[in-house]
Structure 1
């Protein structure tokens, strides 16, 4: 097994699950949002505010293309699915796991939408973002893990059993 790439909505648990999964498998953990922040030397939300969503998506794509990891768990930003080149790069390097969470659960978990660094078009709501992204997560997923009403340990076990 090479890399496991975690995709899903903001609040799906990609980073939290990724750290535990990496420890369980003895893999390295990479959070692509932190790669972006390190490369740009600023916070995600500041990047989005300064350059806008479309240019941010290109910054995110470039950060993804810079990742050449092996035996790693890669937690991606929720908007990575908007750049086909980035997803192609990831799929060539590992198994893409979509952490599927219902809208109601995402809404419950994400209460800092304006400061969290979520790439969303002006005037869009969290529901708009969710509806727009779901089909893309499904399109690129090699494995879909239903995360609703499951413990962290159950989700990690499900991922390990499906990759």
Structure 2
């Protein structure tokens, strides 16, 4: 079983994913970091040098290469921009729904995201919102404490008889 966390940049996919994987005793993978290791360069450099489309192909290829079970995967925020990616996400897809105001707060202190140089966070949110909904098997709010989000996911897994 794999759990894929999807959502906007800054929703806490990696933070939630690491804690969830630890609680489950599963492996954790941050898909963006995996791509950076495979390509030996940071995502922003990949996008600057080759463009977003080339990065999205790398993202799909990375997704296809995941063949381990018992893994929590934190995907990049744009994983939903390629419809075909859904078929490679064999497992439970959880959309971490987070108010845009909270995302803006979280991103304010982080590094500059490459796509935010071209579009506003609101524009990206508007373009992707329905795609996240379409990809997701389940929607979990991540507007409170991270520990509550993890507990809500664990409760969901128990209800589904996965735990």
* Fold shared by both chains (TM-score > 0.5): yes
Name 1:73's counterpart in structure 2. 72
Q: In structure 2, the residue corresponding to 1:144 is in which secondary structure?
A: strand
RMSD: 1.6
Superposed, 1:1-163 pairs within 5 Å as 2-90=1-89, 93-111=90-108, 115-117=112-114, 119=115, 123-148=118-143, 150-163=144-157
- TM-score normalised according to structure 1 size: 0.90
Which segments of 5 or more consecutive residues in structure 2 lack a partner in the other structure?
Answer: 158-163
- TM-score normalised according to structure 2 size: 0.90
Q: In structure 1, the residue corresponding to 2:8 is in which secondary structure?
A: coil
Count of residues paired in the alignment:
157
Q: Deviations over 1:23-71 (max 9, x none)?
A: 1011100110011101110000000111111221111111111111200
User: What is the CA-CA distance between 1:112 and the residue it aligns to?
Assistant: 6.3
Which segments of 5 or more consecutive residues in structure 1 lack a partner in the other structure?
Answer: none
Moved over 2 A (4+): 111-117
- Taking the aligned partners of 1:111 and 1:161, their CA distance within structure 2 comes to 31
- Taking the aligned partners of 2:111 and 2:124, their CA distance within structure 1 comes to 13
